[in-house]
């Protein structure tokens, strides 16, 4: 009954073009067509400084703050 959106983003050259808004709107539309009660999105300090405000404008509300240690997927070529 829950869905998690992970690794959402656009290429640096697409920031400010509306591509992120288009993709988020599409992702939200697809997610909410399923029988879910909660949709999660995670952000971290690797994200663009405007990521959290963007997610909030998309309807997400901060739920928790935590520290997680993991490998940076960009360093692994992902």
* pLDDT per 10-residue tile (average), the chain, 78 residues: 88 92 96 95 82 93 85 83
Question: Cα–Cα distance between 64 and 36 in angstroms, integer?
Answer: 20
Is the CA virtual torsion 4, 39, 59, 17 positive or negative? positive
Q: pLDDT value at position 18?
A: 95
Range of the domain at 59: 2-76
Q: pLDDT value at position 39?
A: 95
Name, in order, each residue with C-beta under 8 angstroms of 23's C-beta and a sequence gap of 6 or more. Answer: 8, 10
Q: pLDDT value at position 71?
A: 84
> Which neighbouring-strand residues pair with 5?
41
Q: pLDDT value at position 54?
A: 93
Q: Structurally, how many domains does the chain consist of?
A: 1
Q: pLDDT value at position 14?
A: 93
């Amino acid at each position: 009954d829950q869905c998690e959106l992970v690794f959402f983003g656009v290429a640096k050259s697409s920031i400010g073009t509306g591509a992120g808004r288009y993709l988020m709107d599409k992702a939200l539309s697809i997610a909410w067509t399923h029988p879910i009660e909660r949709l999660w999105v995670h952000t971290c300090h690797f994200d663009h400084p405007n990521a959290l405000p963007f997610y909030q404008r998309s309807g997400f509300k901060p739920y928790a703050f935590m520290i997680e240690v993991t490998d940076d997927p960009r360093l692994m070529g992902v």
